Structure 1
Amino acid sequence: MTLIKSISGIRGTIGGSVGEGLNPLDTVKFVSAYGIFIKKTTQIKSNKIVVGRDARISGAMMEQLVAGTLMGLGFDVVNIGLATTPTTEVAVTAENACGGIILTASHNPKQWNALKLLNEKGEFLNAAEGAEVLRIAEAEEFIYADVDNLGNEIKADYTDYHIKAVLDLELVDADAIKAANFKVAIDCVNSVGGVVLPKLLKALGVKDIVELYCEPNGQFPHNPEPLPENLQEISGLMKKGGVDVGFVVDPDVDRLAIVCEDGEMFNEEYTLVAIADYVLRHTPGATVSNLSSSRALRDVTHRFGCDYYAAAVGEVNVTTKMKEVNAVFGGEGNGGVIYPASHYGRDALVGIALFLTHLAKEKKTVSQLRATYPQYYIAKQKIELTPDIDVDAILKAVKDKFAGFDVTDIDGVKIDFTEKWVHLRKSNTEPIIRIYSEASTMKDAETAGAEIIDIIKSMVK
């Protein structure tokens, strides 16, 4: 059993003893701490907190625990039920709520769930705020409402509201998409994407939709992380021909992977690149991605004479940097599109609408569009952590070894060489060290990462 407390929320496996996973007692404790934190810090008078969840098996149980705990603290709960992460985020501001909780473990397998915590702007708590929630939980500084001041539960559905907001974006052209007469395949991994994506595509004018795994029952048919090795079925479908583009989302629909018409992967790193290309053509400005994202976004941004910036990994770190530099577009290389004209959160619905508009206007196939961008390859490797591994010591040793190169240490250690880079950091969501490396060929990228892995292994023998 695993329980991880980080900038990405409270994440754990379901079951086990107290403190070993995200079980009912721990869930109540952390939700209580969050509620107390909101009471102390909110800048608005609202007493409402929005709760939404993905379709994983433990979701219904968690929903009841979370809603009941918040009502016990005196909050009115706006329960929007099955909803994407970005839908929950926009619901917070639409309701003028003082916060929100999303019940999802994103790309993790079905035994995981998590509490993703939002402020009154519908944005994730930052590291300092998250640390305060954990402190309150540890100290058990909980004060619950008396019987006359318990909160109420309000049921709501924000799917249509979110879709309309996407269609209302200035750079989304539903008429162009409809005229292109696209045939679109989707893989929604039997979670909330299966509810939302067909409705979104129909609203955008797409009439021919091939649906894979759109029943929101939480029975993930494959590893839910939208990586090439997990997407063989949609790839095989598209290799047969007749489908213009494929879209794959993770269980909470904040990440978007694209499949070309020939069944080849567009590469989730290039989700950002393609959409940035479209956005910058119409609204030039700065872009931001995290340190583990491809150089291709930087290159495309520079094509338009605009500035690119890198942030630490984690959505809140990216959005903080975006606000600092007034970026017009950004996100994370895992397919997480952040478009401030919509809201400051990763949003696959926005990504699909902007990409289809771009594709319709370019009048190219998806593979032809992909060929117009700089060619890089990222190798993603990892090392499982054990209690005896001193991650900080490893990072310092690697930093010292490569001191003669361009080294960034705002999030782990990233070494920029002339033709490649390697980034190693402790994961926010799993007990691993991630080692990402990029070069102009996959062989060079894998070799660069493997060299760092060999160095690390020599330290932990």
Structure 2
Amino acid sequence: MTLIKSISGIRGTIGGKAGDTLNPLDIVKFTSAYATFIRRSGKSQSNTIVVGRDARISGEMVKNVVCGTLMGMGYDVLNIGLATTPTTELAVILSKAAGGIIITASHNPRHWNALKLLNEQGEFLTKADGNEVLAIADKEDFEYADVDHLGKYTEDDTFNRRHIDSVLALDLVDVDAIRKAHFKVCVDTINSVGGIILPDLLNALGVEAKFLNGTPNGDFAHNPEPLEKNLGGIMGEISKGGYDLGIVVDPDVDRLAFIQEDGKMYGEEYTLVTVADYILDHVKGATVSNLSSTRALRDVTEKHGCKYYAAAVGEVNVTTKMKEVGAVIGGEGNGGVIYPESHYGRDALVGISLFLSHLAHKGCKASELRASYPNYFIAKNRVDLTPDTDVDAILERVKERYANEKDVTVTDIDGVKLDFPDKWVHLRKSNTEPIIRVYSEAATMEAADELGKELMAFCKK
């Protein structure tokens, strides 16, 4: 059983003892701490907090506890029901709420759930704000409302439609071009909220779609992380022929992966690369991704005569850097597209619509579009450590080893990243496990894995 408290929220497995799992007592404590933080921050005059959830089996239970607690703290609850993470983010903005709680464990298996916390801008809390919530929860430093000041409860199921309308209204979503292309796609929505909102989006775009695992019952048909090893079903379906594209989302629809018309993976890292190429065709400006994302985004950005910037891993770090440099597009290599013209959050609906616009304009097959981009491979490894290992000392030793290497650029804003002329490796400590994550990229998988294992061996010395 697991309960993980971090700056981004609280997540864990359902069932078991209080303090060890995601259970009603800890949900009440953490929700109370969040509501206390929102009130003390004074950043919004609103007394409303939005609540949305994915289709997980435990979602109804968690939602009831969260909503009741917020009302007990004196906040009005706007429950938007089964909704994607980006839909809930937009709902905070559109309703001018004080914040929002998304009930989702993202790509984690069915027995997990979590609370993701939003500020008044519909964005994830910063590290400092997240730490303040944790401190309030630790001290149980909160006070509930008296009977005359309890919050009110409202339900509103219109935000899925409003989200779709906002996507269709984006200048660079070319609805006419998509409709004229007569795309036929296969979509895996992994038994969650994608099965509710994506049929309406694709219908509005004039796209013929077949859905796999479309029933939003939370009983995931396979491991919900949109990686090749989990997607044999849709890859096999597309391999039969007759499709232009495969579309895969995770349970809360902020990650997006594509499958080519031949049944092969387009490459999750290349979701952002492709959308950025399309945006930069029309609007020049900076791009941002995190340090563990493919170098292909940098290459494509520079091809357009623009500047690429790297951010620390984590969506809030990417959005912070995007605002700092005025980026026109950004995101993460896990299939997360962040388009400021819509909002500062990963959004698969935006990603799908922009990708289809690009494919329609190019008039080519998905495999041909993929072949037009630089080809890189990422290897993902880890160094297992004992809990008392000084990880910071190990990373410092790596940094010192390469500090004076002529052809190596060392970046230490998030662990240590070593950029070589033709490859890179990124080492960063996990926030939840005694391990060092070692991601490496090169022109072949063999070269990427070799580089990663070379640094792993150095860490173990």
TM-score under structure 1 length normalisation: 0.96
User: Cα–Cα, structure 1 residues 213 and 23, in superposed 2: closer, same or farther, change >3 Å?
Assistant: same
- The residue aligned with 1:242 is 242
Secondary structure at the counterpart of residue 122 of structure 1 = coil
- The residue aligned with 1:426 is 429
Deviation at 1:123, TM superposition (A): 0.4
- The residue aligned with 1:191 is 192
- The residue aligned with 1:94 is 94
- The residue aligned with 1:77 is 77
- 1:321-342 residue CA offsets vs partner (Å, 9 max, x unmatched): 0000000000001000000000
Alignment of 1:308-347 (within 5 A): 308-347=308-347
TM-score under structure 2 length normalisation: 0.96
- The residue aligned with 1:119 is 119
Alignment of 1:430-445 (within 5 A): 432-445=435-448
Secondary structure at the counterpart of residue 448 of structure 1 = helix
Pick which of 135-144 and 432-441 moved more.
432-441
Distance 1:49 1:185 in 2: 36
Alignment of 1:236-315 (within 5 A): 236-315=236-315
After superposition, the CA RMSD in angstroms is 1.4
- Asked if 1:348 is matched to 2:348, the reply is yes
Alignment of 1:100-115 (within 5 A): 100-115=100-115
Alignment of 1:141-220 (within 5 A): 141-157=141-157, 158-206=159-207, 208-220=208-220
User: Cα–Cα, structure 1 residues 385 and 153, in superposed 2: closer, same or farther, change >3 Å?
Assistant: farther
Task: Number of aligned residue pairs: give it.
Answer: 457
**Identity rate of aligned residues, in percent?**
67
- 1:434-456 residue CA offsets vs partner (Å, 9 max, x unmatched): 21110011110111112222333
Deviation at 1:19, TM superposition (A): 2.1
Q: Gaps spanning 5+ residues in structure 2: where?
A: none
- The residue aligned with 2:454 is 451
Question: Residue 52 of structure 1 contacts residue 84 of structure 1 at CA under 8 Å; is this kept in 2?
Answer: yes
Secondary structure at the counterpart of residue 154 of structure 1 = strand
Question: Residue 438 of structure 2 contacts residue 452 of structure 2 at CA under 8 Å; is this kept in 1?
Answer: yes
Distance 2:457 2:80 in 1: 48
- The residue aligned with 1:231 is 231
Distance 2:429 2:412 in 1: 12
Question: Residue 47 of structure 1 contacts residue 97 of structure 1 at CA under 8 Å; is this kept in 2?
Answer: yes
Question: Residue 228 of structure 1 contacts residue 265 of structure 1 at CA under 8 Å; is this kept in 2?
Answer: yes
Q: Gaps spanning 5+ residues in structure 1: where?
A: none
User: Cα–Cα, structure 1 residues 104 and 431, in superposed 2: closer, same or farther, change >3 Å?
Assistant: farther
Distance 1:432 1:37 in 2: 31
In structure 2, give the amino acid aligned to 1:168.
Answer: A
Deviation at 1:384, TM superposition (A): 5.0
Distance 2:152 2:286 in 1: 43
- 1:61-112 residue CA offsets vs partner (Å, 9 max, x unmatched): 1101100000000001000111000000000011110000001111111222
Distance 1:222 1:434 in 2: 25
Distance 2:331 2:431 in 1: 17
User: Cα–Cα, structure 1 residues 400 and 14, in superposed 2: closer, same or farther, change >3 Å?
Assistant: farther
Question: Residue 174 of structure 1 contacts residue 204 of structure 1 at CA under 8 Å; is this kept in 2?
Answer: yes
- 1:403-442 residue CA offsets vs partner (Å, 9 max, x unmatched): 3332211111111112111112134576653211100111
Question: Residue 276 of structure 2 contacts residue 297 of structure 2 at CA under 8 Å; is this kept in 1?
Answer: yes
